[in-house]
Amino acid sequence: MTQYKNERLLKAISLVSKEYRELRNVNQLEVNNDIKESKKVAFHIGRIETAKNNVSISTLQLLCEYFEISLSDFMKRVEEIDESLKPKQKKDA
């Protein structure tokens, strides 16, 4: 069975990740090494920023901890970048 991929969501996540990384003025290698060193886990921000693979919530949480932002703030920014990702309002009957 093939894994579901939401291309628009992955692209928006990649853009937000890159945006926060550039705000901190660090490159991908620095992010990878900092997270590997502090959390003792393999981490590859390049995989997130290419938007080719699904990203786990756990991986996003590691990234948010690194950027010192909440996961909800990260996802709000994702929705700002791609408005189509915002939930549709249900119409009252």
pLDDT digits (tens, 9 = 90+) for 67-84: 999 999 999 999 999 988
Question: Which structural domain, as residue segments, surrounds residue 40?
Answer: 7-83
Closest CA to 19 of 86, 89, 69: 69
Q: Global pTM?
A: 0.88
93: confidence class by pLDDT, cuts 50, 70, 90: low
Question: What is the domain count for the chain?
Answer: 1
DSSP string of 73-90, one letter each residue: HHHHHHHHH-GGGSPPPP
* Matching residue, tokens 């991929």: 5
Give the tens place of pLDDT for each residue, 8-32. Answer: 999 999 999 999 999 999 999 999 9
The pLDDT value recorded for residue 86 is 86
* Domain assignment of residue 29, yes or no: yes
Q: Please report how the helices 57-67 and 71-81 are oriented relative to each other, as an axis angle in degrees rounded to 10.
A: 100
Tokens (6 digits) for 58: 């756990």
68 lies in some domain: yes
Residue 1 lies in a domain: no
SS3 1: coil
Q: Which CATH number does the domain housing residue 53 bear?
A: 1.10.260.40
Mean local confidence (pLDDT), 44-48: 95
